[in-house]
């Protein structure tokens, strides 16, 4: 099945700083999503982005499907951005092609 790798595993930021999270995937994808899991466990959709670039407020994401990676940008970070960011991918074909496979996540801590 598809392999999804995220980096860095842990990130500590001062409030107001910018950051870039990376997701590499091993196969062509039909679906790629970024999620934020808050400390209470809820997984919140950030982006559905199998290709291209999207922006939502201080967050933006870019997926370069031909090179099999996606980036999540967080600008002017706030303490409420803390949590774990997951990338999840659905391969175009083969094993697991009907479901999302999650990476191990990036744990972000934003300190005041």
Partner 1 sequence: DTEVTQTPKHLVMGMTNKKSLKCEQHMGHRAMYWYKQKAKKPPELMFVYSYEKLSINESVPSRFSPECPNSSLLNLHLHALQPEDSALYLCASSQERTRMGNTIYFGEGSWLTVV
Residues at the contact surface with partner 1, assessed by CB under 8 A: 29-31, 33, 35, 40-45, 48, 50, 86, 88, 90, 92-93, 97-100, 102-105
Q: How far is the CB of 73 from partner 1 (least distance, A)?
A: 20
- Sheet bearing 69-74, strands edge to edge: 4-7, 19-25, 69-74, 59-64, 52-56
Q: Measured from the CB atom, is 33 or 77 closer to partner 1?
A: 33
3-state secondary structure of 102: strand
Q: Measured from the CB atom, is 17 or 65 closer to partner 1?
A: 65
């Amino acid at each position: 099945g598809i392999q999804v790798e995220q980096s860095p595993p842990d990130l500590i930021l001062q409030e107001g700083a910018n950051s870039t999270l990376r997701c590499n995937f091993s196969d062509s994808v039909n679906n790629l999503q970024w999620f934020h899991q808050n400390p209470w466990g809820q997984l919140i959709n950030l982006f559905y982005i199998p290709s291209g670039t999207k922006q939502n407020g201080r967050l933006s994401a870019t997926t370069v499907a031909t090179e099999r990676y996606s980036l999540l940008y967080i600008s002017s970070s706030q303490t409420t951005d803390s949590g774990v960011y997951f990338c999840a991918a659905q391969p175009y074909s083969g094993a697991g092609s009907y479901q999302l496979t999650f990476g191990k996540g990036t744990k972000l801590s934003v300190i005041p």
